[in-house]
Amino acid sequence: MLTDYQRKILRILYNYKGGRRRFPTIHELTVKTGKHKPDVMAALDALVDAEYIHWEDKSDTANIVILEGWEREGERPKVDRTPPTGNIDYWTEY
């Protein structure tokens, strides 16, 4: 499961490549995320470890290959959407 920040980096990479036909530089990622370079590099390393991207030559983001542009199905925690139970009357007028 990706953290919010890792998911954000993955979506930036995917959308940036689609819109500008190139990947953002590390500096552009720091500007877009508001984080420092070590945070961006840690997120990119986590994406490599989780096999969302392939990145051998870490000197340039132009060498990134996106393997999966979205988080894998079933990895995000499920949100309980069952309605509350009990004697709660939401339509009571006062």
Domains in the chain with CATH codes: 4-66 (1.10.10.10)
Are the beta carbons of 33 and 8 closer than 8 angstroms? yes
* pLDDT tens track for 52-71: 999 998 889 999 999 998 88
DSSP 38-56: HHHHHHHHHHHHTTSEE-S
Contacts of 63 (CB under 8 A, 6+ apart): 55, 56, 57
Question: Confidence class of residue 89 from pLDDT cuts 50, 70 and 90?
Answer: low
Nearest to 71 by CA among 54, 51, 56: 51
* pLDDT tens track for 2-57: 999 999 999 999 999 989 999 999 999 999 999 999 999 999 999 999 999 999 98
Question: Confidence class of residue 1 from pLDDT cuts 50, 70 and 90?
Answer: confident
Are the beta carbons of 53 and 67 closer than 8 angstroms? yes
